[in-house]
């Protein structure tokens, strides 16, 4: 079976070497030495000053909302994984969906101001597929209206935008290190900020809000991660350049083989160095997309509908806001298999199946 992704696994002996060290120390979690080492290496790799390695990519969104003391309404995108909007709901805020740009699939900055009300306190935008949002325009709007900015950068590890890590933009950026990502720690996530005043607050929030046995500051959460997850990150981080290079080759293969007279794909930002996190294609209509999915499934090839449905259509959202572009794209988009080690022959086979089922 060919799934949409396959987890990159480093040299087993290298990982077991770290495991033996963990066994010898008997220090499994609670900000252990491997976790601290991984944080140092990640900060160096990304060129950021403040970074906290946490349990997963959802808890970091929640901590970011809490750290910035966001309440009321949060402008956000309907085209993302549900963790983005769920985190807003879990923190007792109201997601206000703003439609996406038809070319980039990111939140359309030109529609944001029309949705701002006196209750709006923040913008939470996703760099969809690792493609940078219009960070300059969003920052301009945020400053004008005194709003906080959080970027869900779950897809954006390794992306460079205008000579800076894309994770360095916004008041806080969050990242996912789930096993399906370009860089992973099995489960994990990170909070990234360039604001020294947030540093101690983020540190406390991920560890119940207290330091030591007696110094309690506020109600935090358990956002910590373990030495075993940190060990996987330390094994994988040196491989990121070769992982991205391998994914780029697969990306280019699809580009050369698929029928672009009928298919579409998002327009990627020209000012970035990409990480090739996903390979989305947009079909003429949902019927053709489903026909292709079924044809691939019969060959044990499993793509994914990233992202479907459009989050504004979920029945548990407190407000039903029409986002016609997002709703349209979400019904027609499919992410194709993309992972290190995917043979060229399989890319040719996948592309041939798709091209052969593009007519109604």
Domain that holds residue 324: 240-355
The answer to whether residue 324 is domain-embedded is yes
What is the signed CA dihedral for 233, 237, 239, 240, rounded to 10 degrees? Answer: 120
Residues 47 and 146 in one domain: yes
Give domain status of residue 360, yes or no: no
Give the domain-ending residue among 238, 265, 280: 238
Is residue 11 in some structural domain? yes
Are 91 and 220 found together in one domain?
Answer: yes
Same domain? For 196 and 254 the reply is no
My answer on whether 53 and 87 are in the same domain is yes
Quick check: is 98 in a domain? yes
Same domain as 185, residue 274: no
20 and 131 in a single domain? The answer is yes
Q: What mean pLDDT do residues 323-350 have?
A: 98
Find the mean pLDDT for residues 66-84: 97
Residues 153 and 25 in one domain: yes
Looking at the chain, the whole-number percentage of residues with pLDDT higher than 90 is: 91
Segment 321-344 shows an average pLDDT of: 98
What pLDDT does 95 receive?
98
Among 222, 238, 254, the domain boundary falls at 238
pLDDT exceeds 80 at position 311: yes
Per-residue pLDDT reduced to its tens digit, 202-246: 988 988 877 776 777 777 888 999 999 999 999 999 999 999 999
Query: pLDDT tens digits, residue range 156-192?
Result: 999 999 999 999 999 999 999 999 999 999 999 999 9
Last residue of a domain, one of 183, 213, 238: 238
What's 195's domain CATH number? Answer: 3.40.640.10
Look at the chain and report how many structural domains it folds into.
2
* Residues 230 and 247 grouped into a single domain: no
**Are 12 and 139 contained in the same domain?**
yes
Asked if residue 292 and residue 221 are part of one domain, the reply reads no
Same domain, 171 and 202: yes
The CATH number linked to 299 is 3.90.1150.10
Q: What is the mean pLDDT of the chain?
A: 96
């Amino acid at each position: 079976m060919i799934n949409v992704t396959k987890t990159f696994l480093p040299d087993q002996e290298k990982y077991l070497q770290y495991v033996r060290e963990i066994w010898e120390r008997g220090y499994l979690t609670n900000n252990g030495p491997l976790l601290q080492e991984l944080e140092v290496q990640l900060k160096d790799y990304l060129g950021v000053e403040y970074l906290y390695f946490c349990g997963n990519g959802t808890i970091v969104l929640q901590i970011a909302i809490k750290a910035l003391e966001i309440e009321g309404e949060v402008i956000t995108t309907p085209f993302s994984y549900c963790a983005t909007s769920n985190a807003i709901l879990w923190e007792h805020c109201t997601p206000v969906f703003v439609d996406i740009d038809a070319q980039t699939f990111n939140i359309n900055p030109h529609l944001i101001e029309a949705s701002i009300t006196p209750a709006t306190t923040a913008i939470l935008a996703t760099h969809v597929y690792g493609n940078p949002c219009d960070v300059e325009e969003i920052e301009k709007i945020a400053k004008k209206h005194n709003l906080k900015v959080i970027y869900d950068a779950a897809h954006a590890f390794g992306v460079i935008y205008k000579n800076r890590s894309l994770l360095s933009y916004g008041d806080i950026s969050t990242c996912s290190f789930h096993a399906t990502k370009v860089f992973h720690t099995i489960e994990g996530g990170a909070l990234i900020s360039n604001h020294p005043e947030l540093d101690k607050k983020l540190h406390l929030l991920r560890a119940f809000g207290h330091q030591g046995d007696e110094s309690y500051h506020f109600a935090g959460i358990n956002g910590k991660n373990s030495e075993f997850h940190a060990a996987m990150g330390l094994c994988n981080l040196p491989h990121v350049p070769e992982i991205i290079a391998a994914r780029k080759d697969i990306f280019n293969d699809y580009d050369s083989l698929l029928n672009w007279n009928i298919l579409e794909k998002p327009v990627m930002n020209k000012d970035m160095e990409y990480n090739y996190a996903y390979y989305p294609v947009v079909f003429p209509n949902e019927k053709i997309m489903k026909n292709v999915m079924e044809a691939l499934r019969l060959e044990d090839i499993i793509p994914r509908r990233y992202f479907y449905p459009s989050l504004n259509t979920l029945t548990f959202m407190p407000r039903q806001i029409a986002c016609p572009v997002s709703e349209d794209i979400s019904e027609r988009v499919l992410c194709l298999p993309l992972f290190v080690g995917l043979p060229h022959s399989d890319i040719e086979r996948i592309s041939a199946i798709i091209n052969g089922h593009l007519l109604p």
